[in-house]
A and B are shown apart, each in its own frame.
Chain A
Amino acid sequence: MQVELTNLDKTYRDSRGQPVRALRGVTLRVGPGEFVAVMGSSGSGKSTLLNIMGLLDRPDGGSCRLDGDDVVDWPESRRAMFRNRRIGFVFQSFHLLPFLNVRENVELPFLYSRDAGTRPGDLSRLMASVELQGMEYRFPGELSGGQQQRVAIARALALGADLLLADEPTGNLDATTAEPILDLFATLSNSGRTVVLVTHDPRVAAKASRRVDMSEGRIVADTAAAPAESLGGRP
């Protein structure tokens, strides 16, 4: 999916009612199949950027075009349908529903599909692609962190999303577990999916093909990533 963000502005009010400018004229273009890491410290605006890209939030100014369509003013029903069909989310805390087994968690997007023809079919290939074969009937509590994140990735891909948005996806994982997850993102990117990953860890960002640095709501650097080193080298 082609992502074009132009001159995005976003201001929040904090708990005391004071305005906080999260984004200041951010412009970013991500091409189909790109694997982009958005780097920045806490409060730099990277998660806000991801939320706007994922149609979970609306900017105060600027435009957000996905595959050429300006999605900012779309009604919520159309945005929800687009999220359901085209965008996959992966979060640091996985956000799996603990009372559903692996299969039910992966099938969750089908529940909200407005397309009557969409039915959860044979998920075995998907489960195999994220190395979850044989775990379909386990519950999240019975899985390791890495396995839970794989379930979240399978859920994100269940309806064939072509934009994958990951917010600190390895934040809760140790280096050994995180490495194959990042490799999985790279593989998905190689298969044509656009992957945008938010992180504050430069070694995670190094796994991406491109790195965008943010600070105080602005993009301060946009570079092709250096060759990746193993996360196992982390202290």
Chain B
Amino acid sequence: MTSRNVRAALQVIRAQRGRTLLLGIPVALTTGLALATLMIDRGLTARAEAAARSFGTDVISIRPGTRVIAGKTGPVSSLTEEDVSILRARLRRAVAVEGTRIEDGVPVRNGGTNGLYRIFAVRPPWAGVRDFGAARGEFLALADVDTSARVAIIGQTVARELFGVSDPMGAEILINQVPFRVKGVLVAKGSSPAEGDRDARIVIPITTFYDRLYRRVHLDQIVVQAADDAPETLAFLEGQIQTILREQHRLPAGQSDDFTIRLPETIAEESRGLSRSVFYLLFVLALVGAVVSMLIIGLVTQQSLKARQGEIGIRRAIGALPEDIHQQVTAEGLAVSVVGGLIGVAAGLLAAWPLARSQGLGMGVDAWVVIGPLLLVTLAAAAGIIPARAAARLDPAVALRAR
């Protein structure tokens, strides 16, 4: 595209600022929508991936199923230690299977300070599966499980809230009125959309939970660590787990599972906060907008060129080649698209930022956030090519007859 044709296009654009802005509006709307959608989607995806990573990209979670009793949905006490043993024995391509008992909102007290925390009752290998070792002190030992020891590894939030600046190591705390000795402090894990504040938890031996706190036989979760995090490995394990547990629970064909298997991708999707399909819908809407923009720009340009035949004729008469006309009209379309695109980018940022902040959604930027709007602007600019071609083919003698 030569500078003279860009100059000619800019002269036209300068003269028709209103038309340029008007034509730019659909491009701006489309680009803004695409940009806001992509940025929020990237933010949610990053958050979801972080949630999946924090849970473990090679970890499959099995939870009891739910059933509706008297109009209320509640868990089915379907998972047992026996399930863990069977899975350990039969699962292939799994390196660990650990059962846990979990109790939420358990009162915990240190002297006059108290709080409600989530108790995780586990065996020592659980720390490896969930990557949840001790930052200070020690994690649980097998002897602690064998002896139902009243020892606890507390999370960072628990340590801060119950002990402030004091050292919690070796201190005695009351969990549901039962005294426990603080054996260690868990590594900091921060918050996760899937699990909330993961530092507001206390880990105790699984046997102690049963013997000293709650005489509950069933398990609240079984975690299975896969040999690797390849999607096919996880899918293979999911199939095996389902088959084994259905056999184990003697579920007849046709009856739904009494357990729920959650793969890392399920955890990621749940952690997004907003369904991905909403974003696909918005992005499809942006694409439809792009097509509409193309049509509007194409048709309006074609129509305006009919009114500009005299201009095209005189340009040809004084030495413009057909390609000069083609380039000029294309540059005009490009300018409209770029102006619309820039307005759209500004509008998209202005819309996405407060929306993401107010809804706690987060925003992210990657190559697609740049490529997406750029693609839409390019599509809109391409809409000018067909009228440009027609204008370039115009017979100058015929064009000059136009009034």
Contact = CB atoms under 8 A, between A and B. Distances in A.
A112 B397 contact: no
Interface stretch (A31-39, A90-98, A199-207, A208-216): A90-98
Given A95-B310, A99-B15, A83 B397 contact: no
Contacts of A113: 319
A151 B397 CA distance: 21
A57 interface: yes
Interface stretch (A64-72, A73-81, A175-183): A73-81
A166 to B, nearest CB: 12
Contact of A80 (B16, B313, B320): B320
Interface stretch (A103-111, A123-131, A187-195, A224-232): A103-111
A112 B11 contact: no
A109 B315 CA distance: 8
A54 B319 CA distance: 11
A106 to B, nearest CB: 11
A97 B318 CA distance: 13
Contacts of A111: 4, 7-8
Given A111-B7, A112-B4, A99 B318 contact: no
B179 to A, nearest CB: 88
Interface residues on B, range: 20 to 34
Interface string A108-121: 11011110000000
B403 A84 contact: no
A155 interface: yes
A51 interface: yes
B93 interface: no
B314 A56 contact: no
Interface in B376-403: 395-397, 400-401, 403
Interface string B1-27: 000100110011011100000000000
Nearest to B12: A99
B321 interface: yes
B321 A80 contact: yes
A185 interface: no
A114 B324 CA distance: 12
A232 B397 CA distance: 32
B319 A80 contact: yes
Interface in B11-52: 11-12, 14-16
Q: Is the interface of B mostly helix, strand, loop or mixed?
A: helix
Contact of B321 (A76, A97, A155): A76
Nearest to B310: A95
Contacts of A47: 401
Contacts of A108: 314-315, 318
B265 interface: no
Given A51-B397, A56-B396, A56-B400, A112 B314 contact: no
Contacts of B316: 56, 80
Nearest to B5: A111
A165 to B, nearest CB: 9
B319 A97 contact: no
A99 B400 contact: no
Nearest to A104: B11
B396 to A, nearest CB: 5
Given A83-B317, A100-B11, A112-B315, 10 more contacts: A80-B316, A83-B318, A84-B318, A89-B318, A95-B314, A95-B317, A112-B318, A112-B320, A112-B321, A155-B318
27 contacts: A47-B401, A56-B317, A56-B396, A56-B400, A57-B397, A76-B322, A80-B316, A80-B320, A85-B319, A89-B317, A91-B400, A95-B310, A95-B313, A95-B317, A97-B11, A99-B11, A99-B12, A99-B16, A104-B11, A108-B315, A109-B318, A111-B7, A112-B318, A112-B321, A112-B324, A114-B319, A167-B400
Interface of B: 4, 7-8, 11-12, 14-16, 310-311, 313-322, 324, 395-397, 400-401, 403
The 5 tightest CB contacts between A and B, nearest first, are A84-B319, A99-B15, A112-B319, A95-B314, A51-B397
